[in-house]
Amino acid sequence: PQDVGILALEIYFPAQYVEQNELEEFDGVSQGKYTIGLGQQKMGFCSDREDINSLCLTVVQRLMERNQVSYQDVGRLEVGTETVIDKSKSVKTVLMQLFEDSGNTSIEGVDTTNACYGGTSALFNSLNWIESSAWDGRYAIVVAGDIAVYATGNARCTGGAGAVAMLLGSHAPLVFDRGLRSTHMQHVYDFYKPDMSSEYPVVDGKLSIQCYLGALDRCYQTYCQKAEACLKQENLGSHFSLDSSAFFAFHTPYCKLVQKSLARLMLNDFLRDPDAGANPKYSGLEAVRGVKLEDTYFDRDVEKAVMVASQSLYKEKTEPTLSVAKQVGNMYTPSLYGGLASILGSYSCSELAGKRVTLFSYGSGLASSMFSLHFSEDASPGSQLERVCLSLCDLQERLDSRKKMPPADFDKMMKLREETHHKAPYTPVGDVEALFPGTWYLTEVDSKHRRKYERK
């Protein structure tokens, strides 16, 4: 199949949020810590009416309806999540409810879990399926969804919640670059969820940042090597750098780390370019020449120099990927794909045509990959690229239509979720009126832990 990639993309986030500057005051931290220090504006959160099943039901049905896809035309459906409410039964099997009326039960794929990386693994599996002998010509759907919540303390403000669903197939307007995947995996305890009775992770914040930046270096180096081999083949020169892609999107635990990540790629570019000294784009970095990447994760001087040098590239290539992350928070598995939605929601299709997006996916523990896609050249009226862009042009409007909740209510809701997590039987008490129309919500958990849902 030709041009394998994304035909349509749908995003769902909860209809309520807490303002980060109000949360600063509520938490008693210094003003600016969450908003300037971490770069976050708002954080979406769910009541006890929503769980991972309902988030994924909502986003998949929205994808199907808004793109008028027939349930019979789907041959693979796969979910990436780290929000586990059942150790055996996958979210995918719950989603099969949506396919019941169509009679289509012939759908491959189950769930994939490793922190924020599950969605990417599900995506790779589905792309591989389409490129394999097992493919029967039908669509694949990849869903990434999570409810990201932390115990009270310094990590709580980096939560979020949401889901992204992607329709994959051939002749797509967002085409994945073949042969351009790099991966770094490693055993480390930076963030993990050993307590089966709690929604909260055990997290070593500083170690997780170091692991993230280290994984980014490793993936970028291999990605550059592979990209350069391709460029040579196509006689396009032989050097890959930040200039070679229009956008760089990253898994986004919080937005400041992403700005540091783009800066980090510039540091990589500078260190691997023998002619860097003569190049004005690296001015200000002379003192950094010769540093070892692994010595610089928390080096303030190096960080400051590359943050300044990469400022304008950040504004051009990465800031446009952050509108969802800034306003919803870290959604875990969908975070990176929220970056893609942000791009599609911010530009017209003619501005995007032919451009490339390089993506970095990171899941603690750890699993990480860098890969890329490009938009089709055809942005004419009625083109597939136009359809994808139009489907996301109301993204900011949807974000703005959410309801702001006081931090005290957010705190109460977190306590309620804590107390009732895994309780059976249980009847949720959260306000159904507060949900967006079309949202699936939990109506009951019976004494055997079986969950029932309805759609608003």
Binding mask 35-64 for ligand ACO (x = CB under 6 A): -xxx--------------------------
Query: Which residue's beta carbon is nearest to the bound ligand ACO?
Result: 37
Q: How far is CA 126 from the centre of its chain?
A: 17
Site for ligand ACO (CB under 6 A): which residue of 27, 86, 205, 393?
205
Site for ligand ACO (CB under 6 A): which residue of 17, 45, 135, 191?
191
> Which amino acid, residue 113?
T
Q: How far is CA 325 from the centre of its chain?
A: 9
> Which amino acid, residue 338?
G
Taking Cα atoms as reference points, which of 323, 41, 320, 338 lies closest to residue 161? 338
Q: Which residues pair with 76 in a beta bridge?
A: 108, 140
Stretch that binds ligand ACO, among 30-38, 263-271, 312-320, 441-449 (CB under 6 A): 30-38
395 binds ligand ACO, rule: CB under 6 A: no
Query: Could you give phi then psi for residue 449, rounded to 5 degrees?
Result: 65, 15
368 binds ligand ACO, rule: CB under 6 A: no
364 binds ligand ACO, rule: CB under 6 A: yes
Tally of CB atoms within 10 A around 4: 22
32 binds ligand ACO, rule: CB under 6 A: yes
147 binds ligand ACO, rule: CB under 6 A: no
Nearer to ligand ACO, 158 or 376 (CB): 158
122 binds ligand ACO, rule: CB under 6 A: no
User: Considering the complex, what minimum distance in angstroms separates the CB of residue 326 from ligand ACO?
Assistant: 14
Site for ligand ACO (CB under 6 A): which residue of 124, 135, 176, 212?
212
Nearer to ligand ACO, 205 or 407 (CB): 205
User: Considering the complex, what minimum distance in angstroms separates the CB of residue 304 from ligand ACO?
Assistant: 10
User: Considering the complex, what minimum distance in angstroms separates the CB of residue 253 from ligand ACO?
Assistant: 3
- Cite the active site residues: 82, 116, 251
Site for ligand ACO, rule CB under 6 A: 30-33, 36-38, 116, 154-155, 158, 191, 203, 205, 208-209, 212, 253-254, 256-257, 330, 364
